Amino acid sequence: MHEQSVAELQRGLQARQFSSVELTMSCLARIEALDRGLNSLITVTGERALAQARAADARLAAGDSSPLTGIPMLHKDIFCTRGVRTSCGSRMLDNFVAPYDATVVERLDASGMCMLGKTNMDEFAMGSSTESSFYGATRNPWDGERVPGGSSGGSAAAVAARLVPLATGTDTGGSIRQPAAMCGVTGIKPTYGRVSRYGMVAFASSLDQGGAIARSAEDAALLLAAMAGFDERDSTSIDKPVDDYPALLAQSLSGLRIGLPKEYFDEGLDPGVAACVEDAIREFEGMGAVIADVSLPHAPLSIPAYYVVAPAECSSNLSRYDGVRFGYRADGASDLMDMYKRSRSEGFGAEVKRRIMVGTYVLSAGYYDAYYLKAQRLRRRISEDFQKAFEQFDVLMGATAPSVAFKIGEKADDPITMYLCDVYTTGVNLAGLPAASIPVGFADGLPVGLHLIGDYFQEARLLNAAHQYQQVSDWHLQMPRDLGERSPADEKR
């Protein structure tokens, strides 16, 4: 059952081959059996999931179901879930039980999905390896010695290990696409403003965007369609109808214009990764796509621009964690200033503190123009490069990440090397564009992701291209072996 697509699972549910309760119990059993090794979940919400499954079964029986009714899923622990701890991977919010649901949570609940738990992540989504989580590193299902990428590493690992078919993620600089690449799954970050940020704990507000992690583009299309749409509670969400992603998957790729930004094929790209990407591009060519080179001259400046803008916004967004109203508060403070300092020193981890300090610095009087404003100008240049490229191309492609998954601890003490994991992904966030990552092979036995970037609101185009590729390849069907013991529930099936 855990190898079936969402559409297959939905057919099984409709045909009463199994119930949502049985499906949910099977996934919970798999989590129970495998997640001790993976550590992809921070919180398992079995009771809540089963209650939702029972409600889903009733809806299915009543013929009042959506394509996602009764399907198990996980939320990244950055989405507020009423009555369930929302930790954001931080000691600061270890005790925070959200009193409200994020819009994304509301929508997926309304679609009849069953949330089985909250996934592990880099603290406050700041990281590319899921190592900075207060709850310990998540392990890559393909190699337990390696990271799953990040920050949505828990969601990507859980989907790769087939704990659930679908999970949500968020992407500020590559946090959906990079872990999807490293875990061999499909991830899509939509256009900025397509998915509501309401109830999604903010890291860098102008870059943060929720999205979908799934085994295939077809599954991702179903999840994203249910997440996307205007929300009056998020002023930056966009009031524009959502395309019917699943219905547009079948379009032919004949004549699709694919651009290969030369800056994405630089000397930093691992040759094994490059080989897989080039093979995939040949597949697209075989399906009728037209391939040509293009240049995004300011792309190499994405990382410096990103690491000014994101910390600046983060330093302000994380000011609310002061120990006064919620979250971690240090004991025995001598006065207000002492309470602030100790609560924040003890509640935040090293990477979060580093970014708060960088962000505070770049916004300070005397530095604002040299850093923040300059980064904003670069941001416009980066966007203009993309806009120019989209005059000639429908989709831009390259590698999602310059290398395959690295070893746990390998880059943990070297922030700059870690930041370079996002060299191909951050520009997309700075421009607010939609982008996806799909599995296109293995290098050194580890998954490689292809990065697909589209123009604003071209999510359907990206999913269509990804889906057509997945019709002629089976990388997305590969499953990690040796995940540890099998659950009794699974054996029965």
Q: Which residues are catalytic?
A: 76, 151, 175
The interface with another protein within residues 244-263 (CB under 8 A) comprises none
Task: Kindly tell me which of 59 and 374 has the beta carbon lying closer to another protein.
Answer: 374
- Say whether residue 106 binds another protein (CB under 8 A): no
What is the Cα–Cα distance from 54 to 60, expressed in whole angstroms? 10
- The interface region with another protein, picked from 19-27, 170-178, 219-227, 230-238 by CB under 8 A, is 230-238
What is the Cα–Cα distance from 145 to 92, expressed in whole angstroms? 27
Question: What separation in angstroms does the CA of 55 have from each of 11, 20, 62, 70, 227?
Answer: 18, 9, 11, 8, 20
What is the Cα–Cα distance from 378 to 438, expressed in whole angstroms? 28
Tokens representing residue 10 in the block:
């939905």
* Helix 20-38 with 46-62: angle, nearest 10 deg: 150
Task: Kindly tell me which of 314 and 448 has the beta carbon lying closer to another protein.
Answer: 314
Location of structure tokens 């203009």:
384
Q: 306-330 burial, b for 16+ CB within 10 Å, e for fewer? A: bbbbbbbbbbbbbeebbbeebbbbb
What is the Cα–Cα distance from 211 to 104, expressed in whole angstroms? 10
- The interface region with another protein, picked from 99-107, 171-179, 182-190, 428-436 by CB under 8 A, is 99-107
- Say whether residue 235 binds another protein (CB under 8 A): yes
Task: Kindly tell me which of 88 and 462 has the beta carbon lying closer to another protein.
Answer: 88
- Say whether residue 416 binds another protein (CB under 8 A): no
- Say whether residue 113 binds another protein (CB under 8 A): no
CA 66 from centre of chain: 23
Q: Which of 322, 346, 384, 490 binds another protein (CB under 8 A)?
A: 322
Task: Kindly tell me which of 89 and 148 has the beta carbon lying closer to another protein.
Answer: 89
Q: Which of 21, 31, 33, 98 binds another protein (CB under 8 A)?
A: 98
Query: Counting Cβ atoms within 10 Å, is residue 267 exposed (0-12), middle (13-18) or buried (19+)?
Result: exposed
Task: Kindly tell me which of 118 and 197 has the beta carbon lying closer to another protein.
Answer: 197
Task: Kindly tell me which of 337 and 416 has the beta carbon lying closer to another protein.
Answer: 337
The interface with another protein within residues 328-387 (CB under 8 A) comprises 336, 340, 360, 363-365, 368, 372
Q: Which of 4, 14, 251, 316 binds another protein (CB under 8 A)?
A: 316
Q: Do residues 163 and 40 make contact, with C-beta atoms less than 8 angstroms apart?
A: yes
Tell me the three state secondary structure of residue 161. Answer: coil
Q: Shortest approach of another protein to residue 177 CB, angstroms?
A: 21
- Say whether residue 67 binds another protein (CB under 8 A): no
Q: Which of 25, 29, 102, 421 binds another protein (CB under 8 A)?
A: 102
- Say whether residue 181 binds another protein (CB under 8 A): no
3-state helix, strand, coil in the chain (%, to 5): 45, 15, 40
Question: What separation in angstroms does the CA of 257 have from each of 284, 287, 395?
Answer: 10, 12, 7
Task: Kindly tell me which of 143 and 231 has the beta carbon lying closer to another protein.
Answer: 231
- Say whether residue 206 binds another protein (CB under 8 A): yes
Q: Do residues 78 and 125 make contact, with C-beta atoms less than 8 angstroms apart?
A: yes
Q: Which of 29, 113, 159, 202 binds another protein (CB under 8 A)?
A: 202
Location of structure tokens 């994380």:
318
- Say whether residue 232 binds another protein (CB under 8 A): yes
Between β-strands 186-189 and 435-443, what pairing exists: parallel, antiparallel or unpaired?
Answer: antiparallel
Q: Shortest approach of another protein to residue 148 CB, angstroms?
A: 24
- Say whether residue 456 binds another protein (CB under 8 A): no
Residues that bind another protein (CB under 8 A): 79-80, 86, 88, 93, 96, 98-100, 102, 197-202, 204-206, 232-236, 312-313, 315-316, 318-322, 324-326, 336, 340, 360, 363-365, 368, 372
